[in-house]
Structure 1
């Protein structure tokens, strides 16, 4: 039979690393998009 699940016993280190990487990529993508928008606003013709 299956082992009984104990609340809070799961190892979530892989999920935490994945989420941290996702947030880092998201942050830098937003910064890049904002930089492009500022560039376009300044140098539009």
Structure 2
């Protein structure tokens, strides 16, 4: 195996950061939309508030 250990560590850290941000977006966007719809029906707020 010719790969430098430092490069391998950087690849793992970069890949982990990409996975974490992707999971955050995957969870946060639907959560915000559901929260806005809930407030619309519960309190009568506009979806843009």
Q: Classify the TM-score, shorter chain.
A: 0.5 to 0.7
**Greater than 4 Å deviation, 4+ residue runs:** none
| TM-score scaled by length of structure 1 | 0.66
Structure with bigger gyration radius: 1
For CA contacts below 8 A with separation 6 or more, give which structure has more relative contact order. Answer: 2
Gaps of 5+ in 1: 1-8
Gaps of 5+ in 2: 38-49
Give the alignment's Cα RMSD to 1 decimal.
1.8
| TM-score scaled by length of structure 2 | 0.61
